[in-house]
Structure 1
């Protein structure tokens, strides 16, 4: 006769069930099993699928530490994809003021900038510190700011910031000063910004280059910009088509440059490689961003050559 195995007592079964339910990922695993059985038609294949999928499901436990991504690597290549940025301001600016029935209107006009589709303008009291009093985004080359006459005094100095945009791509801003006079139309003069940028200033520094067999790396760090949530980094050769561009929320990045073959002493195997197009000066540009608000970009020069590399 076949021997009959004793059945587990109800208490033991309930305790085992409770311990099973307490396992991390148990509920998600049960749902995955039911879906797998439904798709597999209840066959042995479905059970096999369940065994394969449940391992990954249960391995995910609540409270596991998030994986921190390393700083982005800017690979300097021969034909990089770079954003089309607005050009530089060229030509004269016009600043005028006029009274209009208890109000005063300031009208600023500037020359069109290549590739610009709009301009973000900010008018500030010069201070220090500079205090923004009005902002306006325009698609043309004129901005008008109107104030109550009682709020404007003779001799008050203002600072105008104009930043061109090509869609959402920010260019380089320009600053102009303006002093209100009820008797004259005033004059625009380019000035050094006095705490007028909408985001804090960035200060980048570079670590010594690390040479490899086929590539070299240069770690770049920069100070945090007050109010910024990301940074747009552009590296562009001044003499060839090499470069890179990327956006990061970190305060550091690693640039990777091509490296010609060298011997055990670090000398070029082929001396002619010293004139390779990737050995050259690069323009390094970093611009703090917060959504569509762009801060002032900062420029540096990277000198990357077979025998030396630095940022200045």
Structure 2
């Protein structure tokens, strides 16, 4: 049976060039792990289906391990730059075919790269030559070969930030020691390899003249 999954395009940022869609069975009794790379906001996956019994319409097979739940992950891509993934739980049944449950904020890191976690609190600031240097660090993801690191000022006309890729599990960002640099920033780190992207990790960072701190609200996004 063909099942078509569809989603909306992002409402912020650059328009995606393609989407990586992965569907994986949540049951150890049935192995299903399929990936598609599509240019549109929908993808169709094929699932096994039992014949229907005459009269009742019930499945004729006694054992139907493919009637189970699946995790659906959609991640927008702009070339090799990945956005934030969307997750659903899809419950596949013989009778009911439209059973999708939004797992927003509850993604389980489905993918081939693995996930990371930002280290917070951050190390002490070092100051020299009119600059304050922030060192950011994160946990290694199991299959990552690089990390996309983005730091953006929150709601400020004067922007200081960073957008880079690094093979290391830390990087440094220099701020001018001036009032225009003080304020809150969103920090995002996403593990990458040639096959795709893991889920990004976020935190909020606040820089002051004589101090800095970080925290996680769970609602950060870029």
Q: Same fold (TM over 0.5)?
A: yes
Report whether the alignment pairs 1:302 with 2:205.
Answer: yes
Shift, 1:195, TM fit? 4.6
In the comparison of the two structures, how many residue pairs are matched? 192
Contact 1:117 1:167 in 2 (8 A): yes
Report whether the alignment pairs 1:199 with 2:113.
Answer: yes
Taking the aligned partners of 1:132 and 1:300, their CA distance within structure 2 comes to 34
Taking the aligned partners of 2:9 and 2:170, their CA distance within structure 1 comes to 35
Partner SS, residue 148 of structure 1: coil
The 1:127–1:280 alpha-carbon spacing in structure 2 relative to 1, beyond 3 Å, is farther
Contact 1:283 1:300 in 2 (8 A): yes
Aligned residue among 46, 55, 78 for 1:166? 78
Q: Would you tell me which structure has more strand in proportion to its own residues?
A: 2
Partner SS, residue 277 of structure 1: helix
Alignment of 1:202-217 (within 5 A): 202-205=116-119, 206-217=122-133
Taking the aligned partners of 1:251 and 1:158, their CA distance within structure 2 comes to 32
Partner SS, residue 181 of structure 2: coil
Bigger radius of gyration = 1
Shift, 1:169, TM fit? 1.5
Report whether the alignment pairs 1:259 with 2:171.
Answer: no
Taking the aligned partners of 1:208 and 1:171, their CA distance within structure 2 comes to 30
Residue of structure 1 equivalent to 2:46: 146
Shift, 1:148, TM fit? 3.1
The 1:109–1:310 alpha-carbon spacing in structure 2 relative to 1, beyond 3 Å, is same
For structure 1, the residue ranges without an aligned partner over 5 or more in a row are: 1-103, 261-275
Report whether the alignment pairs 1:133 with 2:69.
Answer: no
Moved more, 200-209 or 115-124: 200-209
Shift, 1:193, TM fit? 2.3
Q: Which whole-Å deviations, capped at 9, do the CAs of 1:20-53 have from their partners, x for residues lacking one? A: xxxxxxxxxxxxxxxxxxxxxxxxxxxxxxxxxx
Q: Would you tell me which structure has more helix in proportion to its own residues?
A: 1
Q: CA RMSD in A?
A: 2.0
The 1:173–1:132 alpha-carbon spacing in structure 2 relative to 1, beyond 3 Å, is farther
The 1:293–1:132 alpha-carbon spacing in structure 2 relative to 1, beyond 3 Å, is farther
**4+ residue segments displaced more than 3 Å:** 150-155
Alignment of 1:23-42 (within 5 A): none
For structure 2, the residue ranges without an aligned partner over 5 or more in a row are: 51-62, 216-222
